[in-house]
């Protein structure tokens, strides 16, 4: 966390204010409220305390409940983060009340206006969350409570957070029905907010790199947690690495094999499965099935909306990505090589001696290669190509924040429908030899 960066605290306070305004906007849409504030909203309906005041009470209560889940060493090493929950809670609760009062005029009557207000509020909330993640100085009490539970019980942070939010919504319904005889404060807007805010955060987060200049005026930004990239000083200046990202059926693996033989350098592709199993402790069969996919892009985006670091949401697919990234780094540091897939162009981004290639092909040519070389049934080849490419795209874009296949991220884009594998190998070989001559 950026706990020693005063600029990060400024950004964090702004993020809290935006979050509060987004929650207030969602609430004023009159279609429910966000899951995390559902219980405080319901409580404010039949008590003298406001939604913001109940937020403060509830979050301070979470701080007390965190203690049984924290070991002495956890409290000692995390003391600053634990205590930061107090001002964070006070600011956040106050901002909610200020925002609710400022938006008192917002009382849409038409359902379409309610939906529009809800969606606008979700965008605002997503902006605040993305900014909070960028600041990376503290956690709200609810999130810290989940972190304490996940750490003590050794469960996944993301899915624990989903269960926590769902429990708050369920409790809100129970309290509302018990006290008021009907369910209020939890409606379709609560579900919409739960489902779309995370993906919006994931979509806009790459744009928040513009705040790096504010946070790190000296230019020393480092890499966010989870983007494990080899430091430039650890990359041997004599090593040249060719990374090949590829569409299914484009011949990317064949191109890698040909380059390996032509240039006399090692190819890393299928051996990643065995190496990743050793690094992560996972079963090779699991890796073979899941290494280039995520269980659900939408679900991952939903539960990842509040994570500040990869360590807080180490689901098996996250563990696998980190393990493979480490292997990519180690391979690049050890020798000249060709690396197929594994987001290697991103993991090694900015390193000297890197040649990034994207291999694509037209659907007809990809289908023909899949049938003739991969042995796929002709009637299933097209659907398999689309399925695999969707998985690769979702995997790449989730972990890198970049658009898969964007030519701006590559040194060479090869369309094997128009350029033979042999010709592509010759062109890449020339780039490689030119890089060797100018090292």
> Model confidence over 393-435: pLDDT tens digits?
888 887 787 889 999 889 999 999 999 999 999 999 998 888 7
Q: Do the beta carbons of residue 78 and residue 147 sit within 8 Å?
A: no
pLDDT of 221 > 60? The answer is: no
More confident call, 432 vs 436: 432
pLDDT digits (tens, 9 = 90+) for 21-37: 999 999 999 999 988 89
Q: How far apart are CA 328 and CA 157, in angstroms?
A: 26
Q: Do the beta carbons of residue 228 and residue 349 sit within 8 Å?
A: no
**In this predicted structure, what is the pLDDT of residue 237?**
55
User: Which region holds residue 243: left if phi is over 0, alpha if psi is between -120 and 50, else beta?
Assistant: beta
Question: 137: Cβ–Cβ under 8 A, 6 or more apart, which residues?
Answer: 1, 2, 3, 5, 8, 9, 12, 84
**In this predicted structure, what is the pLDDT of residue 384?**
93
- Strand order across the beta sheet in which 266-268 lies: 266-268, 337-340, 241-246, 354-360, 412-415
Nearest to 170 by CA among 72, 297, 39: 39
**In this predicted structure, what is the pLDDT of residue 156?**
65
| Distance from the Cα of residue 40 to its chain's centroid | 28
pLDDT of 146 > 70? The answer is: yes
**In this predicted structure, what is the pLDDT of residue 226?**
40
pLDDT digits (tens, 9 = 90+) for 57-75: 999 999 999 999 988 887 8
Give the burial string for 130-156 (b: 16+ CB within 10 Å, else e): bbbbbbbbbbbbbbbbbbbbbbeeeeb
**In this predicted structure, what is the pLDDT of residue 352?**
82
pLDDT digits (tens, 9 = 90+) for 299-350: 555 545 544 443 444 455 666 777 788 888 888 888 899 999 889 999 888 8
Lowest-pLDDT range, 73-87, 199-213, 425-439?
199-213
Q: How far apart are CA 402 and CA 346, in angstroms?
A: 9
Q: Do the beta carbons of residue 389 and residue 252 sit within 8 Å?
A: no
**In this predicted structure, what is the pLDDT of residue 79?**
86
**In this predicted structure, what is the pLDDT of residue 433?**
87
Structure token digits, residue 339:
């690396």
Q: Do the beta carbons of residue 109 and residue 115 sit within 8 Å?
A: no
Hey, how many other C-beta atoms are within 10 angstroms of the C-beta on 271? 12
Q: How far apart are CA 147 and CA 69, in angstroms?
A: 10
Hey, how many other C-beta atoms are within 10 angstroms of the C-beta on 46? 11
Which residues does residue 354 pair with via DSSP β-bridges, in sequence order?
241
Average pLDDT, the chain: 83
Q: How far apart are CA 344 and CA 28, in angstroms?
A: 45
pLDDT digits (tens, 9 = 90+) for 229-281: 444 445 555 688 999 999 999 999 999 999 999 999 999 887 776 776 666 56
Question: 278: Cβ–Cβ under 8 A, 6 or more apart, which residues?
Answer: none
Nearest to 432 by CA among 262, 297, 299, 293: 262
Nearest to 34 by CA among 169, 201, 180: 169
**In this predicted structure, what is the pLDDT of residue 105?**
94
Nearest to 151 by CA among 56, 73, 61: 73
């Amino acid at each position: 966390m950026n706990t020693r960066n005063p600029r990060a605290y400024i950004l964090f306070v702004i993020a809290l204010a935006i979050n509060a305004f987004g929650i207030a906007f969602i609430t004023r849409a009159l279609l429910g409220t966000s899951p995390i504030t559902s219980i405080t909203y319901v409580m404010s309906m039949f008590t003298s305390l406001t939604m913001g005041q109940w937020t403060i009470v509830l979050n301070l209560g979470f701080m007390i409940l965190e203690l049984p889940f924290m070991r002495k060493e956890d409290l000692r090493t995390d003391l600053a983060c634990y205590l930061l929950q107090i001002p964070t809670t006070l600011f956040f609760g106050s901002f909610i009340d200020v925002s609710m009062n400022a938006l008192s005029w917002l009382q849409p009557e038409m359902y379409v206006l309610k939906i529009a207000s809800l969606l606008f509020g979700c965008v605002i909330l997503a902006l605040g969350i993305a900014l909070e993640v960028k600041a990376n100085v503290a956690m709200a009490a609810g999130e810290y409570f989940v972190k304490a539970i996940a750490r003590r019980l050794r469960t996944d942070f993301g899915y624990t957070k989903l269960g926590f939010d769902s429990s708050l919504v369920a409790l809100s319904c129970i309290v509302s029905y018990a006290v008021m005889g009907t369910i209020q404060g939890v409606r379709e807007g609560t579900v919409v907010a739960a489902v779309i805010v995370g993906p919006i955060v994931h979509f806009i987060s790459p744009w928040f790199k513009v705040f790096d200049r504010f946070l790190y005026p000296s230019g020393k930004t480092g890499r966010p947690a989870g983007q494990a990239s080899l430091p430039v000083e650890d990359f041997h200046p004599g090593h040249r690495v060719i990374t090949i990202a590829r569409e299914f059926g484009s011949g990317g693996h064949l191109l890698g094999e040909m380059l390996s033989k032509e240039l006399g350098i090692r190819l890393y592709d299928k051996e990643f499965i065995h190496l990743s199993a050793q690094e992560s402790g996972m079963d090779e069969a699991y890796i073979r099935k899941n290494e280039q996919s995520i269980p659900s892009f939408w679900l991952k985006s939903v539960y990842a909306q509040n994570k500040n670091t990869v360590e807080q949401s180490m689901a098996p697919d996250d563990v696998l990505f980190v393990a493979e990234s480490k292997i990519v780094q180690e391979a690049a540091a050890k020798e000249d090589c060709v690396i197929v897939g594994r987001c290697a162009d991103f993991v090694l981004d900015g390193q000297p001696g890197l040649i990034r290639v994207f291999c694509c092909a037209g659907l007809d040519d990809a289908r023909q290669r899949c049938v003739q070389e991969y042995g796929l049934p002709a009637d299933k080849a097209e659907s398999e190509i689309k399925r695999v490419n969707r998985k690769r795209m979702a995997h790449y874009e989730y972990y890198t924040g970049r658009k898969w296949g964007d030519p701006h991220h590559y040194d060479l884009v090869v369309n094997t429908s128009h350029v033979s594998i042999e010709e592509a190998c010759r062109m890449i070989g020339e780039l490689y030899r030119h890089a060797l001559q100018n090292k």
